[in-house]
Amino acid sequence: MFAMAGAALVMFVLGYALHPLWRARPALGAGLGVAMALATLALYLGLGTPRALHSEQRRAPQTLADAVTQLEAELERDPNQIEGWRLLASAYTAEGLAVKARDAYARAVKLAPDNPDLLAEAAEARALATRERRFDEGAVAMLEHALEQQPMHQRARWFLGIAQRQANRPADAAKTWEPLLAVVQPGTAASLIDQINGARKDAGLEPLALPAPTAAPGAATAGGPGLKVRVELAPALKAKLPASASVFVLARQDGGPPMPVAVEKHPLAAFPLDVVLDDGDSPMPTMKLSQLPKVQVLARVSASGNAIPQPGDLASAPQSVASDRKDTVVVVIDRVVE
């Protein structure tokens, strides 16, 4: 309808402008009319947006896949849009397309190579695109450059410490994480110091003491109601319980990296064990439990007391649940970690 109206308008204007010539020299007038109409069409096709006339281009996207398709088309037309590539990468991540997300973040980083937020996101995407969820040399270089731009960028510092742990450099990981203790909330510090002390222990260093909490009396818990979890032990594994072990109960991003968004450590006691995970249990300052629609909940008995899984630990299968679930999530420790 719009195209027909536009064509009629063009013909009307041309007819009005060429009417005197048409009466004097009909052949020349007709020829000029056709030529000008074709020139107008060519100019529009070359400089305009003819696809905008299509109904599918005018409608709002109804699904994430629709939005991705439209955004891909827009970036193909104009690839110099930093936030466009960033948004497309986030959409790919939501769809589980880790390799495409990595590549989209890489395009964004080329356009904004000194943006620390973008560098941290791109490094995480590189790790998620690998089977082992490992930060490779390219991801580490991004994280180090992010910290050159913003030394206390919390997410980049957290991810760099994980990369150093993966590379068997526990002393470097502890050194990278320790400055975060000065800026995170007390509830987060309790979980973070477990990670730091695990790294310090592996490096042969003395553990750090957790600073005394300074919250005002009656202060609310950072995470609100939280996610209630009950940990049970399969009867067949009772004889395999190691002495002086620790129980880790954690939640991590559903389909995301293995690092937890909330974790609690408890001494081994009688099962079942009931805990409540909330934002105060997050070891990652920039990623909270309440920010995620779904999480994976699991539990693990660690003979070493180390937060990093070790062969011989006892564990439950991950269970995907809504982060705002009201009833209790029951996980059963029923397997031995290989």
pLDDT one-digit tens code per residue, 154-205: 899 999 999 999 999 999 999 999 888 877 776 677 778 888 989 999 999 9
**pLDDT range class, residue 32, cuts 50, 70, 90:** very low
pLDDT at 225 over 80: no
Enumerate residues 6+ apart whose C-beta is below 8 A from 268. Answer: 241, 242, 244, 245, 246, 247, 301
For residue 267, give both structure tokens. 């001494």
**pLDDT range class, residue 222, cuts 50, 70, 90:** very low
pLDDT at 122 over 50: yes
pLDDT (0 to 100) of residue 284: 64
Report CA-CA distances (Å) from 289 to 213, 294, 308: 21, 9, 20
pLDDT one-digit tens code per residue, 285-314: 567 788 888 999 999 888 776 666 777 888
Peptide bond into 272 cis (omega under 30): yes
Mean per-residue pLDDT, 102-126:
94
Mean per-residue pLDDT, 120-139:
92
For residue 45, give both structure tokens. 């096709």
More confident residue, 26 or 112: 112
**pLDDT range class, residue 254, cuts 50, 70, 90:** confident
pLDDT (0 to 100) of residue 321: 92
pLDDT (0 to 100) of residue 328: 93
**pLDDT range class, residue 218, cuts 50, 70, 90:** very low
pLDDT at 48 over 60: no
How many residues are present in the chain? 338
pLDDT at 336 over 70: yes
Enumerate residues 6+ apart whose C-beta is below 8 A from 206. Answer: 200
Enumerate residues 6+ apart whose C-beta is below 8 A from 51. Answer: 57, 73
In this structure, CATH architecture of domain 64-167: Alpha Horseshoe (1.25)
Residue ranges covered by each domain of the chain: 2-53, 64-167, 227-336
pLDDT (0 to 100) of residue 85: 93
Mode of pairing for the β-strands spanning 227-233 and 319-322: unpaired
Enumerate residues 6+ apart whose C-beta is below 8 A from 179. Answer: 152, 157
Q: Are 273 and 230 in contact (CB under 8 A)?
A: yes
* β strands within the chain, DSSP E: 227-233, 246-253, 260-267, 273-277, 294-302, 314-316, 319-322, 329-336
Mean per-residue pLDDT, 211-218:
42
Is the pTM above the cut of 0.75? Answer: no
**Amino acid code (one letter) for 4:** M
- In angstroms, how far is CA 331 from the centroid of its own chain? 25
pLDDT (0 to 100) of residue 21: 41
